[in-house]
Structures are given as structure tokens and as C-alpha cells.
């Protein structure tokens, strides 16, 4: 079931998405070699609660194995759903920080992949290509297009650069629930899939690997890594389908303003 949102609901979602944006920026101030991922998680949880919202990921999932963190923090070969803990970031790492909040009954959910210190040229290329593919997908997210148009835009851009596009994990609708219909794959064919309609709200999130597109899940039941242990990048925005260009509810601008390492902040355009 796909729910089209009213203007009032969209503004509530914008507030949630913007809180995620501010949370990612707050976390970015502490991303540097030597920091434990668990420290970043505590910072995010405190920040979200101080803004009268609820961390959407903490406790999410099956009753016998709920996700334990506020953030999904995925380092290097970890694609998504990395569990925060004692892992220490080091120079040359990349770290995807995925955050979700519930504010006033509506969800925001997006992600950014940070460089920790200096990265090699191949890693920078992965990050820049993945971020560019996000915006190329968003360019196709407009009334009258189809889900396959988004996936095709992401896939064709990344595969042309020699990277693998994850098939097992996809973007999604969101609103009153963290995950709603429709699914939004990062691969596909033009003109295929669900028709996009004004008022649909989507989380578009390319997950792109330096090597193979194949992934596997670790024994913790959450952390997903690349099958060849090569690096993976992940960027995500929340958008509203409109008659013209999509309305992007989230932003990375706050990260650029607050990051301790602004030279390592990648922005598109």
C-alpha cells in the first residue's frame, strides 16, 4: 500500500528529515582517527532525545535480535547495518553513518559516508561516484516517471565507473512508518516498475561497492559486508515526488558547516 502525503504531513516529514541532517552533522564533529564507533552512537542518541524525538533504529527488528544502536555505523567493507561498539576508526577508513528518527509521528532516515583522515584516490572515486548516483536517481524521481527510472540512473552511472551495485538491499517509502511501500532498487530498467505520483515520499539510497555487488550477513544478524571485503559507500536522501523536480527533505549542508575535517566533506554539484 502506497500512501500519498498531504502538505501538512510532508512538512512533518521535513522536520524529521532535518533533525536527522542535524544529527549527522553533530556526529561529523567527532569523526576522526582514534574514536570508537560507540561514542558516535551515544552522541547521536543524546542529540535526538534533546530534540524531543525518538531514535528510530534502536530496538527495530525481530524481538529476539533487535538492533541495539541509535546509528547504523558501517566501516570500510561493511555495507549497511553495522553495529556501533568498540571498533576504533583509523586513518584511511570510510564510515557510513545511517540515522533514523521519529518526530511527531513521522520518520526521517538518511545516510552519509565520511572519509576518516586521508583516503586513497580509488576510495575518493567510490565516494564521489556513489554520491553523484544519488542525485542522478533523484533527478528521475518526479511525477509520471517509474521506479525503474531511478534504479537505472543509479546503476548505469556506477557501473560505468566499474563499481558494483548492491541488489540485495534497496531504498523504500517512508512516512508514518520507517519502511513503507514501494521498494526503491538501485538497479532497474527505464519505464518499468511502480509509477511515481506526486505526494509519494521515498528514501533513495545507493549502496555501491568497490568490487562485486554481492554481499553477505555476519553472525550478528545485522551487519552486511561485501562478499570480497572491498570498500562500500552509502548515501541517502528523503524526497517527495512532485510534478517537477523532487523536493529533497534532507540535506548534507549541515555536515559541511560542522565537520572537523571540511576538506573531506563531499558535496554534489
Instruction: From first to last of the 269 residues of the chain, give the pLDDT tens digit.
Output: 999 999 999 999 999 999 999 999 999 999 999 999 999 999 999 999 999 999 999 999 999 999 999 999 999 999 999 999 999 999 999 999 999 999 999 999 999 999 998 999 999 999 999 999 999 999 999 999 999 999 999 999 999 999 999 999 999 999 999 999 999 999 999 999 999 999 999 999 999 999 999 999 999 999 999 999 999 999 999 999 999 999 999 999 999 888 777 766 777 65
Say if strands 106-115 and 78-80 run parallel, antiparallel, or are unpaired: unpaired
| CA contacts within 13 A on the Cβ side of 6 | 2
Number of domains into which the chain is organized:
1
Q: Supply the pTM of this predicted model.
A: 0.96
pLDDT of residue 265: 76
The SS3 call for residue 202 is strand
**104 within domain boundaries:** yes
**21 within domain boundaries:** yes
pLDDT of residue 259: 76
Residues 6+ apart with CB under 8 A from 47: 22, 23, 26, 27
For the four alpha carbons of 260, 261, 267 and 269, in that order, the dihedral sign comes to: positive
For the four alpha carbons of 211, 150, 10 and 175, in that order, the dihedral sign comes to: negative
In this structure, what C-alpha cell is assigned to residue 254? 549541515
Judge contact between 150 and 192, C-beta under 8 A.
Answer: no
pLDDT of residue 166: 98
**2 within domain boundaries:** no
Helix (H) or strand (E) holding 187: none
**75 within domain boundaries:** yes
pLDDT of residue 267: 73
pLDDT of residue 60: 97
**269 within domain boundaries:** no
Query: Could you give the strand order of the β-sheet that contains 78-80, starting from the edge strand earlier in sequence?
Result: 78-80, 224-226, 215-217
pLDDT of residue 238: 98
Give the CA-trace dihedral at 118, 119, 124, 126, to 10 degrees.
-150
CATH number of the CATH domain containing 13: 3.90.230.10
Q: Where are the beta strands (DSSP E) in the chain?
A: 54-55, 71-75, 78-80, 94-103, 106-115, 164-165, 171-173, 180-184, 201-204, 207-209, 215-217, 224-226, 232-234, 237-240, 247-248
**206 within domain boundaries:** yes
**1 within domain boundaries:** no
pLDDT of residue 257: 87
Q: How far apart are the first and last CA of the chain?
A: 35
pLDDT of residue 167: 97
**144 within domain boundaries:** yes
Q: Closest Cα to residue 145, out of 67, 207, 105, 198?
A: 198
Structural domain span for residue 66:
7-264
Place of cell 517537477: 244
246-259 burial by CB neighbour count: b if 16+ within 10 A, else e?
bbbbbbbebbeebb
| DSSP at 231 | -
Amino acid at each position: 500500500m502506497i500512501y500519498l502525503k498531504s502538505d501538512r504531513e510532508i512538512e512533518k516529514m521535513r522536520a524529521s528529515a532535518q533533525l536527522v541532517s542535524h544529527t549527522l552533522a553533530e556526529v561529523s564533529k567527532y569523526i576522526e582517527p582514534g574514536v570508537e564507533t560507540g561514542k558516535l552512537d551515544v552522541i547521536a542518541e543524546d542529540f535526538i532525545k534533546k530534540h524531543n524525538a525518538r531514535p528510530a533504529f534502536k530496538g527495530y527488528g525481530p524481538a529476539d535480535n533487535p538492533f541495539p544502536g541509535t546509528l547504523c555505523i558501517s566501516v570500510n567493507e561493511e555495507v549497511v547495518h553495522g553495529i556501533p561498539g568498540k571498533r576504533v576508526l583509523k586513518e584511511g577508513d570510510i564510515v557510513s553513518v545511517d540515522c533514523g528518527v521519529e518526530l511527531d509521528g513521522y520518520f526521517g532516515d538518511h545516510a552519509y559516508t565520511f572519509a576518516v583522515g586521508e583516503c586513497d584516490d580509488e576510495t575518493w572515486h567510490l565516494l564521489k561516484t556513489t554520491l553523484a548516483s544519488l542525485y542522478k536517481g533523484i533527478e528521475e524521481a518526479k511525477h509520471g516517471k517509474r521506479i525503474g527510472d531511478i534504479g537505472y540512473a543509479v546503476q548505469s552511472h556506477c557501473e560505468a565507473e566499474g563499481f558494483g551495485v548492491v541488489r540485495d538491499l534497496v531504498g523504500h517509502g517512508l512516512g508514518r512508518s520507517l519502511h513503507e511501500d514501494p521498494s526503491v532498487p538501485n538497479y532497474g530498467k527505464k519505464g518499468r516498475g511502480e509509477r511515481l505520483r506526486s505526494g509519494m515520499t521515498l528514501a533513495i539510497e545507493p549502496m555501491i561497492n568497490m568490487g562485486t555487488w554481492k554481499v553477505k550477513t555476519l553472525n550478528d544478524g545485522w551487519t552486511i559486508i561485501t562478499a570480497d571485503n572491498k570498500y562500500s559507500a552509502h548515501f541517502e536522501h528523503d524526497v517527495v515526488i512532485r510534478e517537477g523536480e523532487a523536493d529533497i527533505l534532507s540535506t548534507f549542508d549541515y555536515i559541511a558547516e560542522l565537520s572537523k575535517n571540511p576538506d573531506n566533506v563531499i558535496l554534489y554539484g
